[in-house]
Amino acid sequence: MVRAGLSSFSLHLPDALGDPWFELDTDGKSVSGSFQQTPTLDLLDFPGEVAARGINCVDLCIQHIPNIEPGYLAELRSAFESADVELYQLLIDIGELGSADPDESDAGIALTKRWMEIAAELGSTGVRYVPGDSEPTPATISQSGAAFRELYDYGVACGVEPATENYKVFNNEADDLLQVLDLSQRDYGLVADFGNAAGPRKYETLSKLMPRATAIHQWVDIDDDGTLNVEDSKHCLNMARENGFDGPIMLLGGKPYQQYRDTRALWDAVDELRREVRSVFGDLQV
């Protein structure tokens, strides 16, 4: 069903979480990193905070997880379950699956598999990953299709639903992204990101993605005076509705990103974005 959600990357949430950046250690059993500023919201309190605002579906960026010890993951999973908030996808933003260097590609596959295991420990419904920032070529597209086949099967065995997104260089062009999915021969989820489709071919890109989209990352454009470009916002959402979209719409923010952040408080922006969704899809779960 269509429902509104948030990402730990939405608007001011990274700041509230302390602008964290953590990465897996080589043993895969711990993470190293730091908070770039003092957190005002502990990640363990994140599910309860969004639930109090009427949100029951979230994405979580891997770099925002400060601890992957079993006890902490169990505590975080319990926080989501207690707040009745679905952890929809763990967002895996690293790993060069599409690299022409086989060692780099193998390392990306291994890294993604480890994060799939962590997603399963957290009780996440799914995971989202992309081939990376390598340039797509016939050879690397074929290679990525095989990697996606292997990763899909591993994800399903872990109990999480694999998905990808029009994100990073390899997946910039919808045709390349869809070719990787077709070559994988697996039933992948697809996140259609309004912001990543920006540019003169934005609607063309979205027209190719929407028929297969299972989730949306909602970005809106704002004009020079800071007002929301309602025409563009509704056009994108109507493309989703007309293609029978029936999944979560994650309220990410606006572009230009810094201007949108500077002119909106977090929950005011969430209400603004949610109103846009409601104007097209009705109340439903949003």
Average pLDDT on 1-17 reads 96
Domains of the chain: 3-190+199-210 (3.20.20.150)
For residue range 56-85, what is the model confidence (pLDDT) as tens digits? 999 999 999 999 999 999 999 999 999 999
For residue range 246-275, what is the model confidence (pLDDT) as tens digits? 999 999 999 999 999 999 999 999 999 999
Could you write out the DSSP letters of every residue in the chain? --EEEEETTSTTHHHHTTSEEEEE-TTSS-EEEEESS--SS-GGGHHHHHHHTT--EEEEEGGG----SHHHHHHHHHHHHHHT-EEEEEE-----TT-SSHHHHHHHHHHHHHHHHHHHHHT-SEEE----SSPP-HHHHHHHHHHHHHHHHHHHHHT-EEEEES-TGGGSSHHHHHHHHHHHTS--EEEEETTTT-STTHHHHHHHHGGG-SEEEEEEEB-TTS-B-HHHHHHHHHHHHHTT--SEEEEEEEESHHHHHHH--HHHHHHHHHHHHHHHH-STB-
pLDDT at 100: 95
For residue range 190-200, what is the model confidence (pLDDT) as tens digits? 999 999 998 89
For residue range 146-174, what is the model confidence (pLDDT) as tens digits? 999 999 999 999 999 999 999 999 999 99
- Check whether 284 has a pLDDT greater than 70: no
Query: What rounded mean pLDDT belongs to the chain?
Result: 97
Q: What percent of the chain has pLDDT over 70?
A: 99
Residue 286: pLDDT band (50, 70, 90) is: low
pLDDT at 285: 59
- Of 1 and 211, the structure prediction assigns the larger pLDDT to 211
pLDDT at 198: 86
pLDDT at 182: 98
Average pLDDT on 112-120 reads 98
pLDDT at 248: 98
Residue 283: pLDDT band (50, 70, 90) is: confident
